[in-house]
Structure 1
Amino acid sequence: MNITRYCFTCDLKQDEVLIAEYKEQHQKVWPEIIASIKEAGIVDMQIYLSGNRMLMIMECDETFDPVQRAKKDANNPKVQEWEQLMWKYQQAIPWAKPGEKWIEMEKIFQL
């Protein structure tokens, strides 16, 4: 199996209560969201937090197509409901374009 790793960043609103709620939400991610992630060819996903800055690591198999995933997610009411809920906690990073949330990171080093 060929695995590709993607890394993204996004910020949370600088509010301790909202950050705690966001962490709680991710201890009970809706089953429809987990199913959508797996159906997209994402075999592992991890989110790390430092302060209010997040790093998401996705490991995807050869079936993963980011364009197709975006289309399916846009037409999935449950995914859209989850995204709306998450936007309560999230904010775009300063260099994001309008409407962008998670921004892909550039790999600059590998050992």
Structure 2
Amino acid sequence: MSDPALVRAFRMQLKAGHEAEYERRHDELWPELAQALAEAGIYDYAIFLDPDTLHLFGTLKLKPDHRIDDLPNHPVMQRWWDYMAPLMEVEPGNRPRQWALKPVFHFA
């Protein structure tokens, strides 16, 4: 398995009735957000939806010199969270609620 510190997987929760809007907003990802994610060292980022439970499963890879912990303070990240908050479960400050997933298998 690759370095687990450089791979993250997590679950989020979408609110009912917002599936299409969630997908549309990600299809139109803001260029400045994409740039902030890349500059933080994030790549190969994907989100999957379980339509039965409305669980969102995210996976992303991090470069060794990543700065992912700086993203919550980035203005564009905060604006994105505010934009997405009506569609999903969030923490105070509109950060999406996330449940980390434990890696148990990887086939490369």
What is the TM-score normalised by the length of structure 2?
Answer: 0.79
Runs of 5+ unmatched residues, structure 1: 93-97
Letter in 1 for 2:76: K
Name the counterpart of 1:55. 57
Does the 8 A contact of 2:9 with 2:100 survive in 1? Answer: yes
Does the 8 A contact of 2:42 with 2:68 survive in 1? Answer: no
**SS of the counterpart of 1:88?**
helix
1:26 has 2:26 as partner: yes
Q: Deviations over 1:34-55 (max 9, x none)?
A: 0111001112100111121111
Does the 8 A contact of 1:10 with 1:101 survive in 2? Answer: yes
**SS of the counterpart of 1:14?**
coil
Name the counterpart of 1:95. none
Letter in 1 for 2:57: L
Name the counterpart of 1:11. 13
**SS of the counterpart of 2:9?**
strand
User: Aligned residue pairs: how many?
Assistant: 99
Measure, in 2, the Cα distance between the counterparts of 1:66 and 1:27: 22
Runs of 5+ unmatched residues, structure 2: none
Q: Deviations over 1:30-73 (max 9, x none)?
A: 01110111001112100111121111110111011443x24xx3
Name the counterpart of 1:78. 76
**SS of the counterpart of 1:91?**
coil
Name the counterpart of 2:102. 106
Does the 8 A contact of 1:32 with 1:79 survive in 2? Answer: no
**SS of the counterpart of 1:26?**
helix
What pairs with 1:87-98 in structure 2 (closer than 5 Å)?
A: 87-91=85-89
